[in-house]
Amino acid sequence: MSGGVDSSAAAALLLEQGYEVVGITLKLWPQDCLSRAEDKCCGPQAVTDARAVCHKLGIPHYLVDESESFQKQVIANFAAEYKAGRTPNPCVICNEKLKFGALLDRARQLGGEFVATGHFARLEKSADGRRTLLKKGRDPLKDQSYFLFSLRQDQLARSLFPLGEKTKLDSRQAARDRDLKTADKEESMEICFVPDNDYGKFLEASKLAQRHRGEIVNLQGQVIGHHEGIEFYTIGQRKGLGLSSPKPLYVIQLDSVNNRVVVGDDSALDREEFTVERCNWIPFDEPPAEMQVSAKIRYKHPGAPALVRPRPGGSATVKLLAPQRAITPGQACVFYDGDLVLGGGWIARG
């Protein structure tokens, strides 16, 4: 329970469906959490709100310290990815390793059968009953299945998403109807541990990255400027390059080996083929040799028709029917067949 409206509504709905519910809030930061993210899911106000909701519902509430695991498995990966010239998605890692990893272990210790969250996604059994399938949430504006693509079958089988058939308005109304204090709480759209959504400032302040000079080059390899660290740039970035050019220039590639930022014009951002690594497949153990899918290259991306060919070693090639802009190494690419999540992987460097 993050102290937000969705996890509050999920707990209330499960209770009324006859489940024995226990509220757990994960403490993801050490004692300096207050200065980092007062109102986030690790902040004292969030904990207070979660506890108040549990008291109102008449269920136990526990605060579980997972700050060490969070630091090792989420924050360290976050920094390492930026240093390698990739743009990470920490929410996917946090779901896989903590919310449906460490938290499942805690649930077992408490005698719990499932972990439930306020994610807007749906689960159902396959026709033969042998697999748990992941589907988009009914609310297209709030669907969060993208962030859950890496969950394994053993994790999905022990998960519950009470809001999967609901909309955000339904969630708020459910909280209001039960007089929960989080009903009208503003939702956060940022990474929970990055204040003001300024990841560069966070990396510096946390001493996870430091500025170091390097070259900015054009697509022909000519040096046209300098940067202070590839960690502070992302693919498609236009502002803050400090370059003078008759036409707009964008970050096309981050070369960690040579400590270079490669820039070019808008057209150079378009790609129609790329590789994904560390794939996870949900409806099947062994995927078909070729699949026609809708490929979602980032969370807010609507999805694009593509042909996916899995390869040995857990990777796959993705061939888009039409080029897409700013395909970013380090981001998750998730494959759909309608509402069904087929799986996904992590976009590799070109």
Residue at token pair 């519910």: 21
Inter-residue contact 332 to 320 (CB < 8 Å): no
> Distances from the Cα of 312 to the Cαs of 151, 210, 293, in angstroms?
20, 37, 19
- Among 54, 94, 279, 333, the active-site one is 94
Does the annotation mark 91 as catalytic?
no
The CB-based long-range contact list for 146-149 (8 Å cut-off, 24+ gap) reads 146/296, 146/299, 146/332, 146/334, 147/89, 147/91, 147/92, 147/95, 147/119, 147/299, 148/92, 148/95, 148/100, 148/119, 148/121, 148/341, 149/92, 149/280, 149/282, 149/332, 149/334, 149/341, 149/343, 149/344
Burial 168-204 (b: 16+ CB within 10 A, else e): beebbebbeebebbbbebeeeeebbbbbeeebbebbb
Count of C-beta atoms within a 10 Å radius of residue 129: 7
User: Strand 270-281 to strand 315-325: parallel, antiparallel, or no bridges (unpaired)?
Assistant: antiparallel
- The DSSP secondary structure of 24-92, one letter per residue, reads EEEE-S-TTHHHH-TTSTTSHHHHHHHHHHHHHHT--EEEEE-HHHHIIIIIHHHHHHHHTT----HHH
Inter-residue contact 234 to 252 (CB < 8 Å): no
- Among 33, 41, 54, 192, the active-site one is 192
| Catalytic positions, written as ranges | 94, 192
